[in-house]
Structure 1
Amino acid sequence: MPMPIPSGSLLHEVDVFSDLQSSSHPGSSSSSSVFINSPQRDVHSIWTPSSSGCSRSNASSRPQSLTGPSEGTVYGKGKGKAADLPPCLPPLAFSRPEFSYSHIAWPTSSVTDSVEPSSYGSPRFDSPNSPSPSFSFDATNFPNPTQSNPSHNPTHVRRRALSISSIHSTSSVSTLSLSKLRNKAFSGTPGNLARKLLRKPGVPATDNGSLEVPFQSDHHILDEQCKDVPPAYTITSNDGSQSLSWPLPPPTLKGKLRSNSSPSSFSILDLATASSTDHFTPLSLIIPSYFEALPRELRLRVLLAFLDVHEEEYEKDLMDGQWSVMKASSSKNKWVGRNRGMRELVKLSRVSKSWQMLLSDGQLWRTLDLRSFYNVPKTLILRLTSVAGPFITSLNFAGHVFLLSTTLTDVADHLCVQLTSSNGVPFTQLTALNFRGCTMLTTQSLHYLLKVSPALEKLDVKGLHIVTNTTCEMLAASCPQLTVLNMSRCPSMDADGIYCLCQTAISRKRTLLIRVLRLSGLKYVDDKMMAVVGKACPDLEVLDLSYCRQLHNSALEAFVACGEDEILGVETVVLNACQVGRDAGDNNKYRRRITQLRHISLSFCFLLTDIACSNLAHSVPRLEFLELAGIGDDLGDEGLIRLLNTTPMIRRLDLEDTAQITDAVISAITPSVNAEDEAVRDEREAGHALEHLVISYASSITDDALLTLIRACTRLKVLEADNTRIGPRVFKEFIRLSRRREVSDSRIVAVDCRTIGEHAVKEMASMTRPRLGWRAYDSRKLKYLDGRDGDLEDLKVGQDECDDKRVVVKTFYSWQTVDSVRTSREKRRKSGSRRAMNGSGCSSDDADNIGHTTRWWSPGGRRSGANSPTDVGRDTCRIM
């Protein structure tokens, strides 16, 4: 169709609403009536190009004729068909630019309200070649002219959403055809463009298809479906009796699949009724917890068995030979046995709160041994003790240097059992405490814990400066069940504290239950203290008085002496003067108390002589460990022999630095040679149970005495004879007998024995090893050579240091093997490094030094020239 070109000035804007209002007046022209009654006529907004482009005409008068174009009609001046002008679009009007959809200018229910132009739901004509939009309306869709608003402003902004006005003004039509609205809205557009734009997936592209939307009879259904959604469109009838609220823009406004200014596209499916029952709800999968179904006691038993399993696995690896130095040195095996089980229990507490409470149960933590976990946080300690406190019976904080006194006080409060009675005093059930190395504690915190621990049996506070004489008074008042006490190396206490502890028990006519008393380094030890110790501790089995510099011979006599008033309930023996080492002309009788001592240590008590041994004779018949190292030349044969003849159960004898002893002492502990059979051994004969003998610096001992001792003492396991005159015969005989008897971890020390040369050491190399190796994570820096790791075949030097069947030989020449292994490992590491592979290895000087060191420390190496021991520098000093 040719484009109509009206003559005269163009209209600024042609509004349909103004036409409708003018048609309602009695004086309206017939042309308006024709326009309304003709569904095929279009209303066009006329645009004309200007000199500066396309601009809107400023004419305010309405056109004289709005009839549709027909053939032969000419608009404008002249005759004939006017030239086609290029199409031109009006300037676009945009809303305020915003970065969000907080405000969207949705169409409102009132068509007379002034709204900003919106592109939502309206057809887009973005192409400059597309014609101007034209709209046609059916007269039946308009309200009665008499009900229209008479006020009209002809210059108001043109409404783009004209189709919604017909919906707002319709009250008598029950159904609305979407297909008709589509055809009317795009009647002026070319061909199938509107159909393609309006076609939706799943909807047949037919002109006669319509989508019916209930308005009158079914509007209550839509209201019920959209009652919870705030309406965006409201359609109200003229009389106000019927209304319809749309939760989203109406489908008639959707002229395209997706609008750029719309946050979401609208579909007729948005009006579908939501089913009350969701048929696609996934079924809840409930996994039954069989562990939680068990009773609490059974669950605790399972966790206790969890600890036992870790211990059994570690023991099984040791017995099966699968545990090696390389495996033990790995960080994965830092914790083994029960320690690993404890760590796993703490990790399992992260599963849930119920597991956390279960794993904090006191039945699992009766023995809280944190000796290996010296970096355990304070929060974990308080959490365990707060839940399992009343059940804990053993507490081991050895090595916890950063344990504060406030933490210990809180732990003491958590361990207390609160009694319900009015006069009840809170107390703990602790039986063992170990605070060795806890240097940041205070005396008050320690005393607070001791005060509430009446059942305490074992206490180890070795080396703590917080231990004073008042601590001994606290033990005497609060801990009557004490059996093991270790107060060695406590610089803030002296003999008066021990005297107060024992004298308190004697004044109460009671005895102490102490069996193990370790007082190494105690100051001012005198006869008075030793006398009360002997009276108050009749069950004493272990007494450590090493490094007590003020200890005299008379103090030991006071320890075993027994008066007439102490005979009741005490086993005693009456001795003459010769038996106690006195003058033979003395006719006095001496009563001695028979003690239960099994281990006594008097090492480095420089004031003692062999008279101290005579004073102990016949009073320690059950003695097994006797340590008299470091006393010096004052220790002679007479008193020592007198004591050894009355101790048949002796197992370990330490006589280091006793240079004055002779073969008579060795003969005193040598059993009969013909008694090789263990079944016919006489247990009353001294030396039959000897396992460990130390005679270092005893230069008067001969080889014959030692050979007789080695052959007679079938249980002898360790012989330390460094700096003596023993020869190769004793050395080889001990190694051969130890291998024949299959003694585990046998050891001989022959350092500085001039008669034992390199040839003897090399001859016994197949049955010996240089060090007593052990497989654990703590020994990783010692780098023991283990045959299970296969290093023997690779290095081709050294002996298996972890084979318990080999005899440990500690001599000057055997120690060279240790450094030889280290040098071979270092050389292998350097040869396999990237620098060596690239040809940029060590210099010739370094290679020469490595070769010299290897030859010097390897058995059979040369001993002359630059390889002599005198050429070893300060940085290469070797320490055994």
Structure 2
Amino acid sequence: MSPTQSRLDDEGIIALKHASRLLQTLDVSRCRSISYKGVMELASEDFLLKQIIMSYCHLVADPMIQSFGKLKNLQTLHLDGCDMSLIDLGQIGKCCRDLEELSLSKCKGVRDAGLSAGVIGCPKLKSIDLTCCSGVTDKVLLSLGSSCTGLLKLKMESCCNFTEHGLKELCSSCELLEELDLTDSSLNDAGLLAISNCRYLKVLRLGVCEDIHDTGLSYIALNCLDLRELDMYRSVNISDEAIGVICSHCIKLRSLNISYCTKITDAALFSIAKLLDLRVLELRGCIKVSLGGLCSVAKKCQNLEELDIKKCESMEEYAPLILAQCCKSLRQVNLSYCSATDEGIVALAKGRCMQRMRLVHVRNVSVKGFSRLLLAGESLKKVKLLVQWKDSLPWQLIERVQARGCRLQWVEKI
């Protein structure tokens, strides 16, 4: 059950109790009219509940978590955005020992000791989301490493109180990790060395990690050969050298984000062109890349589906035309704050797969060019344009485009 409104109350929960004992998923996210006593009504051995999702709910209490011990099939518990200041998270380990997925993203008051006790009691845990749980330290990582050796997914975005020592203990035990998110954290090169022990890693997110360098990325490149997604958004100390090593070894990469890595030049793009299975490439704000490097990617990465070159200031205006000629699988492109030609953007819009185009502050394109684009893009689902074009484009054209299912998003930006 997934509510579309937050009107469900305790009486509704009781009605569910009498209606179906085969219920397996309960989603009461943002249902502020439900109390923890209401949720407790479903905590019975007679129920087959496997998933409880109560993100951003008003009340979480120890008795409710204790009652979950009656749910013998419970595997997933989401408490995102709830206030844990008065909660003993150790109760999760005592009462939900078969838990496989726990999400505490953006929870207030998560304490290191309680969380450590909680995960120690959940040896079957495969996924845990601790996004913005700023109190997480090495103690939690040590607990995960000692008890949850089958862990596959760990999210710790905006957690800055752990060290490379905690990561070393975690990664030496949880060798099966497939997804790790350390965006905006205190990660350094020694931490990357620890992570390189996880040879089955498929997804690694390292955005806004200003203390990682080429040396640290080389550890990942040489050991995590199964990587499919790598995000280094705004990790500003990464250079062409790191990209070269990554692309030479992690040839299964399908998604790469190096937006605002301002040291990156065309040399990195020549390396990226080796990734023949690349689907998503984000170069936003890479001010040193130009048409030469992009041409190499366009000609060799034939499976490319999404490309972001917003604010690539050195990119020449013929880039869209080259993309249209070479990247027949493109379905999403961001050309905002770049130069283009009428011919180039129209050719891109005609692409058989093209669905989304972002064209805010595209230089050198005329009203006629935008009109032709909207007419030509029969497969387009969404186009983002500056609001001032709304009065310049024929209203009949706008109505026609919207009638065929294309959403025009008008934005006002300086």
Bin for the TM-score computed over the shorter chain: 0.7 to 0.9
Identify the residue that residue 340 of structure 1 maps to in structure 2.
Answer: 54
1:409 aligns to 2:142 (yes or no) = yes
Q: 1:512 to 1:444 in 2, by over 3 A?
A: same
> What does 1:597-746 align with in structure 2 at a 5 Å threshold?
597-632=278-313, 634-658=314-338, 660-671=339-350, 686=351, 688-722=352-386, 727-730=391-394, 733-738=397-402, 740-742=403-405, 746=407
Q: Secondary structure at the match of 2:299?
A: coil
> What does 1:233-632 align with in structure 2 at a 5 Å threshold?
308=25, 310-311=26-27, 331-332=32-33, 338-340=52-54, 347-350=63-66, 360-363=95-98, 365-378=99-112, 380-388=114-122, 390-415=123-148, 428-465=149-186, 467-476=187-196, 478-502=197-221, 504-505=222-223, 512-560=225-273, 593=274, 595-632=276-313
Q: Over the residues paired in the alignment, what is the CA RMSD in angstroms?
A: 3.4
Query: Any conservation in 2 of the 1:689–1:713 contact (CA below 8 Å)?
Result: no
Identify the residue that residue 83 of structure 1 maps to in structure 2.
Answer: none
Q: Secondary structure at the match of 2:271?
A: helix
Deviations 1:312-354 (A, max 9, x none): x77xxxxxxxxxxxxx6x7337999942299889644545987
Deviations 1:244-275 (A, max 9, x none): xxxxxxxxxxxxxxxxxxxxxxxxxxxxxxxx
Identify the residue that residue 751 of structure 1 maps to in structure 2.
Answer: 412
Aligned counterparts of 1:482 and 1:613: Cα–Cα separation in 2: 28
Q: CA deviation at 1:448?
A: 1.6
Q: Secondary structure at the match of 1:395?
A: strand
Query: Any conservation in 1 of the 2:146–2:173 contact (CA below 8 Å)?
Result: no
Q: CA deviation at 1:394?
A: 0.8
Structure richer in strand, relative to its length:
2
Query: Any conservation in 1 of the 2:155–2:181 contact (CA below 8 Å)?
Result: yes
> What does 1:1-400 align with in structure 2 at a 5 Å threshold?
308=25, 310-311=26-27, 331-332=32-33, 338-340=52-54, 347-350=63-66, 360-363=95-98, 365-378=99-112, 380-388=114-122, 390-400=123-133
Aligned counterparts of 1:526 and 1:384: Cα–Cα separation in 2: 40
Aligned counterparts of 2:219 and 2:241: Cα–Cα separation in 1: 11
Aligned counterparts of 2:35 and 2:333: Cα–Cα separation in 1: 36
Query: Any conservation in 1 of the 2:279–2:303 contact (CA below 8 Å)?
Result: yes
> What does 1:773-784 align with in structure 2 at a 5 Å threshold?
none
Deviations 1:432-480 (A, max 9, x none): 1111111222332222212211101101001112x1112222222x200
Give the partner amino acid of 1:521: R
TM-score, structure 2 normalization? 0.76
Aligned counterparts of 2:111 and 2:35: Cα–Cα separation in 1: 18
Give the partner amino acid of 1:470: A
Q: Which has the larger radius of gyration?
A: 1
Identify the residue that residue 48 of structure 2 maps to in structure 1.
Answer: none
Q: Secondary structure at the match of 1:500?
A: helix
TM-score, structure 1 normalization? 0.38
Aligned counterparts of 1:484 and 1:713: Cα–Cα separation in 2: 33
Query: Any conservation in 2 of the 1:670–1:708 contact (CA below 8 Å)?
Result: no
Aligned counterparts of 1:617 and 1:334: Cα–Cα separation in 2: 55
Aligned counterparts of 1:430 and 1:665: Cα–Cα separation in 2: 47
Q: Secondary structure at the match of 1:716?
A: coil
Aligned counterparts of 2:372 and 2:101: Cα–Cα separation in 1: 48
Q: Secondary structure at the match of 2:345?
A: helix
Query: Any conservation in 2 of the 1:612–1:639 contact (CA below 8 Å)?
Result: no
Q: CA deviation at 1:700?
A: 2.5
Q: 1:391 to 1:752 in 2, by over 3 A?
A: closer
Q: CA deviation at 1:359?
A: 7.4
Identity among equivalent positions (%) equals 16
Unaligned residue ranges in structure 1 (runs of 5+) = 1-301, 315-327, 416-427, 506-510, 561-592, 672-685, 754-880
Q: CA deviation at 1:403?
A: 2.2
Aligned counterparts of 2:380 and 2:62: Cα–Cα separation in 1: 45
Query: Any conservation in 1 of the 2:346–2:376 contact (CA below 8 Å)?
Result: no
Q: 1:525 to 1:359 in 2, by over 3 A?
A: closer
Aligned counterparts of 2:365 and 2:66: Cα–Cα separation in 1: 65
Q: CA deviation at 1:531?
A: 2.3
Q: Secondary structure at the match of 1:720?
A: strand
Unaligned residue ranges in structure 2 (runs of 5+) = 1-19, 40-50, 72-90
- Higher RCO by CA contacts (8 Å cutoff, separation 6 or greater): 2
Q: 1:730 to 1:629 in 2, by over 3 A?
A: farther
Q: 1:494 to 1:529 in 2, by over 3 A?
A: same
Q: Secondary structure at the match of 1:721?
A: strand
Q: 1:345 to 1:516 in 2, by over 3 A?
A: farther
* Number of residue pairs the alignment of both structures matches: 361
Q: 1:667 to 1:357 in 2, by over 3 A?
A: closer
Identify the residue that residue 9 of structure 2 maps to in structure 1.
Answer: none
